[in-house]
Structure 1
């Protein structure tokens, strides 16, 4: 069964348990309903339990080889969690020299991770919700809503192009090394120049998703953090998902990188991504913290075509649009809207063509194979204490292969 992170629960909730539901005050300060996902026996979902347990050796070997200090693996069908297990340490080292901490903190299944670029999926979902309400059209020019954006050859770039990483915008900008406050840095983002002709190439762009986060803020009239809380996190009971965690949650959060060179020291409990940090921790491209179970709630909404636990966050047509190929006109580009499609480098070679997912630089990943009714989540802090360790993608792939090998008659 789900192992409750008691420090996190004590820090964020004050409530009672009734029929498996926890009524609590969330980290955001508002009242919300939190619920634990059902835990199912693998056999009920056509999976072999012993085959799933092969993931133990994969994770333990990765920890021994220094790929990451710890992590959480979660496997689910569209009805609930089939397998969930925590490994290793959430905090192990005092510095980038790998000096061991006198007080290491073990991972449990409720450990909160900096999910890095998986944040983009929530931004994309927010944009689709606004499209459903006809507050924007995906094929509108971005400049219709953000006039400052419409300069330097970006006048015709559409919202759809930002969502599918085909806007031609640069992959990133060194916002953390540039002067100015948040608004001045955003002005640099808005006035940036495309590096290729819009629509001609897929360039994975954090800059595009920073713009999308500001688009949500402009159209909704509230901050991106408030929008996601109200329209996604609260409906799905994702009470451990947030931007800018308060300091008292630090012991429940996996530490990331020693950035002493930039005077940040050990980054722990604040966003790892430098540009999100430069923007105050809240951005459309990175900055969210979450747990495996909270991400599973989000994933289950997509597995069930926009709805989970009686709460609908998207229409089925929007889910279809987000998870269909949007970049067929561009060679070797496999993007939906927010989601990445059919990538065997982390989904494994047995994932169906319909599979969709996303990764995060900190060592996180989530993918869904709707044909085989399976979701795989891997949360690690592979950048603790530095980003120079072995490649985590091989572990992602091995975990995926172990999951697919467990599936019976699918």
Structure 2
């Protein structure tokens, strides 16, 4: 597949400070393209390498979904069990009709802590609340659990980060293990993701790219760079924040498709569109699907974005390609994904 122009294009964008990160394109065991661009840290500066670990933001939802479905496979969880029967949510506005299935498919109707579909800023949550005060799943509850719902469970579809926080709490209740420890052992280790983990930004960890975004003046001109250390909690949750490398994300997708993480029934479920969103295509259990006019799957993927973070993991079934884009800046990543999508479309 012709990706010969991609390196020069990415290099030019990096030189213009329009992209900083890693791109990996694999077909089976063959690497079709790989490259690292820009800076892993702008303070020193440190050049990017392909071994860098990135905050994946919402890609973390895939790991939470797989962990939950593994509990289904083991008979410890039923997707149609109300979340209130697993997690103590007394005194909150979370309806007893909200099931784990609703939460994993963005159809629960519960209010998010920052409603991104309504244009609310997640970063704004931390203006008056210190980021270091939210490090465990239950710490998130005051930010959303008393808000009125957007709609009745199953009556609509609305992207909701905190639904996965509740699933993370359910995983802790059912396993007796802290969420992050469970993901390390039950997902990362089983998938061969040897370079992935949850890193606290207050601690030193090797090969972790720092998140930076440009500071712009009133005319849109860059006047400097700002790190994202106060933009969200310092360590990842069931909704977002796991740190992975590009090769580890490919390993995850391949282990999933090979049936190394879930039973055949649950693997098919995970790779099947579940609910239709009016503007964003189809949602599955964490994955998002782009369908062709004949309803075949053109691509399934999961992206993530935050201040100082932009990323995407995507599989094109017709081309048998796995694509990973990881960036430590909010700006620039989407253009890279769109460029690769056009190249794949042209080739297929």
**TM range, normalised to the smaller chain?**
0.7 to 0.9
Asked if 2 retains the 8 angstrom alpha-carbon contact of 1:341 and 1:356, the reply is yes
Identify the residue that residue 36 of structure 2 maps to in structure 1: 86
The question of 1:219 aligning with 2:167 is answered: no
Gaps of 5+ in 1: 1-46, 95-102, 307-311, 384-388
SS, match of residue 317 in structure 1? helix
Whole-angstrom CA distance in 1 between matches of 2:197 and 2:179: 11
Identify the residue that residue 294 of structure 1 maps to in structure 2: 248
Q: TM-score, normalised by structure 1?
A: 0.70
Identify the residue that residue 375 of structure 1 maps to in structure 2: 322
Whole-angstrom CA distance in 2 between matches of 1:343 and 1:65: 34
The question of 1:357 aligning with 2:289 is answered: no
Whole-angstrom CA distance in 1 between matches of 2:90 and 2:25: 41
The question of 1:318 aligning with 2:262 is answered: no
Identify the residue that residue 15 of structure 2 maps to in structure 1: 64
Q: 1:74 aligns with which of 24, 29, 39?
A: 24
SS, match of residue 249 in structure 1? coil
Gaps of 5+ in 2: 115-123, 216-225
Aligned-pair CA distance for 1:365: 0.4
Asked if 1 retains the 8 angstrom alpha-carbon contact of 2:113 and 2:144, the reply is no
CA RMSD of aligned residues (A): 2.9
Aligned-pair CA distance for 1:341: 0.6
Aligned-pair CA distance for 1:400: 2.4
Asked if 1 retains the 8 angstrom alpha-carbon contact of 2:99 and 2:108, the reply is yes
Identify the residue that residue 266 of structure 1 maps to in structure 2: 227
The question of 1:138 aligning with 2:79 is answered: yes
Asked if 2 retains the 8 angstrom alpha-carbon contact of 1:162 and 1:208, the reply is yes
How many residue pairs align between the two structures?
A: 318
Whole-angstrom CA distance in 1 between matches of 2:31 and 2:163: 33
C-alpha distance 341-129 of structure 1, shift in aligned 2 (>3 A): same
Asked if 1 retains the 8 angstrom alpha-carbon contact of 2:109 and 2:156, the reply is yes
Asked if 2 retains the 8 angstrom alpha-carbon contact of 1:148 and 1:191, the reply is no
Asked if 1 retains the 8 angstrom alpha-carbon contact of 2:93 and 2:145, the reply is no
Identify the residue that residue 218 of structure 2 maps to in structure 1: none
The question of 1:339 aligning with 2:287 is answered: yes
C-alpha distance 150-54 of structure 1, shift in aligned 2 (>3 A): farther
The question of 1:210 aligning with 2:158 is answered: no
C-alpha distance 154-248 of structure 1, shift in aligned 2 (>3 A): same
Whole-angstrom CA distance in 1 between matches of 2:334 and 2:310: 8
1:292-312 Cα distance to aligned partner (Å, 9 max, x none):
1111110112333x2xxxxx2
Aligned-pair CA distance for 1:200: 2.2
Identify the residue that residue 30 of structure 1 maps to in structure 2: none
Aligned-pair CA distance for 1:88: 2.1
C-alpha distance 184-63 of structure 1, shift in aligned 2 (>3 A): closer
Aligned-pair CA distance for 1:172: 2.5
Identify the residue that residue 55 of structure 1 maps to in structure 2: 6
SS, match of residue 197 in structure 2? coil
